[in-house]
Structure 1
Amino acid sequence: MIKSDFGNFYEDFDVGQNISHALSKTIFESDNNLFSLLTMNHHPIHTNADYASRQQHQKILVVGTLVFSLAVGLTVPDISGKAIANLNYEEILHKGPVFIGDTIYAKTEVLEKRESNTKNDRGIIKVRTNVFNQENMIILIFTRSVLVKKREAA
């Protein structure tokens, strides 16, 4: 059997590198409803078709934090699969609406890279991820720093 590697080590990242993530996700009504229930977000724009039909977009909007959570998930195999921790999310920009039935994709750019100041078996990468829908419209942008293992530490 061939062993599958999950994630990348610190050494695998280069500043300026662009990663097109292989994963994508179509967001279903059940995803949105369950997320709304789990997070106690009962705003009718996310759960009530009649209410939503009388609002700006005239249909149910997917909860923004669900879109964000899914987008982070799309990046895990490439960005944080070997992470020790996500250190911070500096910026989360919702650039456009997401509707039930939309499919999301992600691309990430490595912005910065530095070795840890306290432990030599790890380093920190800073990345910006653009999330877009099936029409190639950017719907979300976020920046985060991730503490990643070095290859020798594995």
Structure 2
Amino acid sequence: MNQSVLGLYFEDFIVGEEIKHSLSKTIFESDNNFFSLLTMNHHPVHTNVDYAVKHQHGKILVVGTLVFSLAVGITVPDISGKAIANLEYEDVKHLNPVFINDTIYVRTKILDKREAKSKSDRGIIYVESIAYNQNGLDVLSFKRKVLVKKKKS
């Protein structure tokens, strides 16, 4: 049996390629409740059915930072499994609402990569990830720079 591989090395990333991540996650009511409590986001649109049904979406809205956290986590086995550090997140956009029982999938495009200036055993990849739901509707996008190990010579 072969050992599973966590992440890619700097050399494995090809600018312009897109990765469809194999992980996915259905967001349950308990996920949203725990995240709301943990992050102290007690807005009733996330935690109060009576309030939510009387407002814009008519039902509980999943906390946006939970969707972001899940999207990042889904990308770890491919994008940052060999990371030394996440350097930057940018341009986070909530594109459409996410509701209880939606399933989140993610695809990532490799935008750029460059050798690190300080050390020769690493490089920086620049990617854009897009989370989408079970209906193929994009719900969140973000870009990030990740410092990734190179293969040993």
**The TM-score by the shorter chain falls in which range?**
over 0.9
Counterpart-to-counterpart distance in 2, 1:38 and 1:105: 23
Structure 2 spans left out of the alignment, 5+ residues: none
Give aligned-pair identity as a percent. Answer: 65
Indicate the SS of the match to 2:80: coil
Output the TM-score relative to the length of structure 1.
0.98
Q: Which residue of 2 aligns with 1:118?
A: 118
Q: Residue 78 of structure 1: CA displacement? A: 0.3
Q: Which residue of 1 aligns with 2:19?
A: 19
Q: Which residue of 2 aligns with 1:81?
A: 81
Q: Which residue of 2 aligns with 1:28?
A: 28
Q: Does 1:130 align with 2:130?
A: yes
Q: Which residue of 2 aligns with 1:109?
A: 109
Q: Which residue of 2 aligns with 1:63?
A: 63
Counterpart-to-counterpart distance in 1, 2:50 and 2:98: 18
Counterpart-to-counterpart distance in 1, 2:12 and 2:76: 14
Counterpart-to-counterpart distance in 2, 1:79 and 1:108: 8
Indicate the SS of the match to 2:77: coil
Once the two structures are superposed, residues 37-94 of structure 1 have per-residue CA deviations (whole angstroms, 9 ceiling, x without a partner) of 0000000000000000000100000000000000000000000000000000011000
Given residue 110 of structure 2, which amino acid in structure 1 is its aligned partner? V
Q: Residue 25 of structure 1: CA displacement? A: 0.3
Q: Which residue of 1 aligns with 2:2?
A: 2
Q: Which residue of 2 aligns with 1:42?
A: 42
Q: Residue 5 of structure 1: CA displacement? A: 1.1
Q: Which residue of 2 aligns with 1:93?
A: 93
Given residue 129 of structure 2, which amino acid in structure 1 is its aligned partner? T
Q: Residue 3 of structure 1: CA displacement? A: 1.4
Q: Which contiguous aligned blocks of 4+ residues in structure 1 show a shift greater than 3 angstroms?
A: none
Output the TM-score relative to the length of structure 2.
0.98
Given residue 69 of structure 2, which amino acid in structure 1 is its aligned partner? S
Indicate the SS of the match to 1:89: strand
Q: Residue 2 of structure 1: CA displacement? A: 2.2
Aligned CA RMSD, in angstroms, stands at 0.8
Q: Which residue of 1 aligns with 2:143?
A: 143
Structure 1 spans left out of the alignment, 5+ residues: none
Between 1:2-11 and 1:113-122, the stretch displaced more is 2-11
